Structure 1
Amino acid sequence: MGALSHIRVLDLSRVLAGPWCTQNLADLGADVIKIERPGAGDDTRTWGPPYQRDAEGHDTAEAAYYLAANRNKRSLTLDISHPEGQAVVRALAAQSDVVVENYKVGQLARYGLDYATLAAVKPDLVYCSITGFGQDGPYAARPGYDFIVQGMGGFMSVTGERDELPGGGPQKAGVAIADLMTGMYASLAIMAALTHRDRTGVGQYIDMALLDTQVAMLANMNTNYLASERAPVRWGNAHPNIVPYQTFQCADDGWIIVAVGNDGQFRKFIEAGGQPGLADDARFATNPARVRHRDLLVPLLADMVRTLTKDEWIARLETAGVPCGPINTLPEVFAHPQVRARGMQVDLPHASGGTARLVANPIKLSATPVRAEMAPPTLGQHSDAILQERLGYGPEQIAALRAAGIV
């Protein structure tokens, strides 16, 4: 039994932030029903290639992007623009603990699927809305996109190479961090609301916004600015106060991270590279001196690092006690012994007959471990079963809904 195996979730979200949230709940044991448009479904189903492969190795209609955020869910296709589809959603919501949606502000109210309407039927409902900019404010009606929010929320002002260096300028993250972090905050908010409900019997509305999350997650960068009124700048892979604390390219074109935290570690680093004299140079002997003369020192260190391969450097620096690590490609990540030992890849049978190769949930619970039981569903895979099980619909009723294009 999962920690949330007593919880029913109605998932009206799509793309990434909402599905990431509900996948967390599903991994923890919640019964998550994903509502999708008939014939189309979640937009990310077609965001490929690459695609899930069937037993013969042929591409299916399920993009890998979709697979990343929809494990352990069941799919029900419904056209909620029709009264019959809306009635099904309301009936399911009346049996659910949580509703998650990421429609435009006010859109679900037109269908009678907003919080006020559903809470009137089920007062202890926890209802979470995820939008780009929240339910109020001058930008509330605007659609939200992760890339744009990374820029608006300040993340790109502190991410990227220094302006004066080649390739300098603002840079987005390699993954949709605003979406992912909003999904994570939404998961936490839902569990807090469920705890409150269990104590009081009262549900509540949760208003999550990508921009709010992006601003919040800048953490110490925010407080640095608020304390000093000086905007932080981009440093790329370098550190403003410590040298060397950055990346270096190796002889085999691999990359390492060197995180020298004191003068003793600096000496060990350059001794490992056969350049002990650098530690005796007054310009480089102490960290404050190295920071002042970083433009002289870093090219010398870069040349030194290019004399050995990535694996050779890691072996030498780990032996010497210098904080370091490789910059791994994803093939290297999933082949890494620590990643393997932690079980971070999970393979699940897919409805196509192939195997869905997925990333495991990183939460480790001793008494109620997370589950990985079902591959992300094909579009409408569980429609009949859900309507029969939850609402008692018979085959004739389901056939009529399907003939009308509702299911």
Structure 2
Amino acid sequence: MSGPLAGVMVLDLTRVLSGPYCTMMLADLGARVIKVEPPGGDDSRHFPPRTGGDSAYFMAFNRGKESIALDLTAPADRAIFERLLTTADVMVENFRPGVLDKLGYGPAVLAERWPTLILASLSGFGQTGPDRGRMAYDLLIQAMGGVMSLTGEEGGGPARVGTSLVDIGSGMFLWPGILAALVERRGGAPARRVEVAMLDSQVAMLEHAMMRAQAGDPPQRLGARFPTASPVDAYRTADGALVLACPMPRHFAAAAAVLGHPEWVDDPRFVDNAARLANQAALKAAIEAVMRERTTAHWDAAFAAAGVPCGPVRNMADLLADPQLTAREMLLPMAGFRVAGNPMKLSGLAAPDAASAPTLDQHRAALLAEFGA
């Protein structure tokens, strides 16, 4: 493997999304990631959509890994697993707290038998606290972590963010912790345990909502509207919608000129940000009355040329046709699909091979031969 993590060996006991996303990032950076799956495979191998006989969902988050299927309750497979542990630098798992102990590979056992091994754990609520044993899925954490109280149309009910925000976010928090532990261990320090909770990750991404709630201004669902600046919203056009982001007076002045209403900057209702927030419904109606006369493409070009931050509201088909993403190697081909590339761009490091996800137990013979198990 090439890349800055070449020579690092990771045992990946994770499944579905949060953990596999974390270990995929490590593989993209050159780590050798051996996916240790139960005999039936990672649950996500059975998720739609499919390409041929394989799950495109699984393939999208497990590129660059090797696979071996092991039953960690069977003595023969445990012996194989322990040979892998002897060589590994990192073990990543996303079992519920306590499962590793039941398998006989709890933190104390690992620290005693394999003292240089970094144990990285991802769970719903963390390894400590009264909720540590609760089951968790992305949607549950979006609900319990407060984000569903912020998401949706104004006056509407709870809404899920349209992607698995918590799964991806917690995986993104875990792998930098692993890198930090690796750097520290190479300096001679003992191996650490790294752990991330999905709930903690969601709370860390709440931005200013927590402060506003404590300042007596509890945030509410606002649709696409931003709570502290106006106009910052999605506005309907003749054929779709365009987001305008005008947090600064110069942005609003430029937008008003593009819309043919430079007098808005002196209108008492819109004269400053506080006034625009107080009259945001009237301002949105005035903006949309003009923008509905022309297409999204027209307004996008006009506002961009005037220095107004803007962007069209695109669907997935639009996104997959974006030349900017193609130029950035963010749309990688994979057996009839295109999947997201790695947003980290390191000079000299090639884009990952999106079609390199392993079949179940694909590397068993090679790994047994290599590790003498």
TM-score in terms of structure 1 length: 0.86
1:174-202, CA deviations, whole angstroms, 9 ceiling, x for partnerless residues? Answer: 11111111101110111111111111241
Structure 1 unpaired stretches of 5+? 53-58, 349-353, 394-407
For residue 189 of structure 1, give the secondary structure of its aligned residue in structure 2: helix
Look up the match of 1:144: 136
- 2:124 and 2:199 in contact (8 A); partners too: yes
Structure 2 unpaired stretches of 5+? none
How many Å apart are 1:355 and its aligned residue? 5.6
Aligned counterparts of 1:32 and 1:98: Cα–Cα separation in 2: 9
Look up the match of 1:283: 269
Look up the match of 2:26: 25
- 1:29 and 1:370 in contact (8 A); partners too: no
Aligned-partner residue type, residue 50 of structure 2: Y
Aligned counterparts of 2:209 and 2:367: Cα–Cα separation in 1: 47
1:332-373, CA deviations, whole angstroms, 9 ceiling, x for partnerless residues? Answer: 22322221211112235xxxxx46633211111125556437
Aligned-partner residue type, residue 191 of structure 1: L
Aligned length: 372
- 1:356 and 1:375 in contact (8 A); partners too: no
- 1:178 and 1:210 in contact (8 A); partners too: yes
Corresponding position: 1:212 with 2:200:
yes
- 2:333 and 2:339 in contact (8 A); partners too: yes
Please tell me the root mean square deviation across aligned C-alpha atoms, in Å. 2.0
How many Å apart are 1:230 and its aligned residue? 4.3
Instruction: Tell me whether 111-120 or 87-96 shows the greater mean CA deviation.
Output: 111-120
- 2:16 and 2:44 in contact (8 A); partners too: yes
Instruction: Tell me whether 64-73 or 154-163 shows the greater mean CA deviation.
Output: 154-163
- 1:247 and 1:256 in contact (8 A); partners too: yes
Look up the match of 1:316: 302
The alignment-based identity, stated in percent, is 39
How many Å apart are 1:154 and its aligned residue? 1.4
Look up the match of 2:44: 44
1:202-227, CA deviations, whole angstroms, 9 ceiling, x for partnerless residues? Answer: 1121222111111112133234444x
For residue 160 of structure 2, give the secondary structure of its aligned residue in structure 1: coil
Corresponding position: 1:170 with 2:151:
no
| Equivalent in 286, 293, 299 of residue 285 of structure 2 | 299
Aligned counterparts of 1:287 and 1:216: Cα–Cα separation in 2: 28
Pairs within 5 Å for 1:92-107 = 92-107=84-99
For residue 266 of structure 1, give the secondary structure of its aligned residue in structure 2: helix
Instruction: Tell me whether 83-92 or 228-237 shows the greater mean CA deviation.
Output: 228-237
Higher relative contact order (CA 8 A, sep 6+): 1
For residue 171 of structure 2, give the secondary structure of its aligned residue in structure 1: helix
Pairs within 5 Å for 1:326-345 = 326-345=312-331
Corresponding position: 1:185 with 2:173:
yes
1:114-167, CA deviations, whole angstroms, 9 ceiling, x for partnerless residues? Answer: 22222222111100111111112111111111101111111122222222xxxx
Corresponding position: 1:375 with 2:356:
yes
- 1:2 and 1:371 in contact (8 A); partners too: no
TM-score in terms of structure 2 length: 0.93
Look up the match of 1:7: 8
Aligned counterparts of 2:218 and 2:367: Cα–Cα separation in 1: 53
- 1:90 and 1:113 in contact (8 A); partners too: no
For residue 100 of structure 1, give the secondary structure of its aligned residue in structure 2: strand
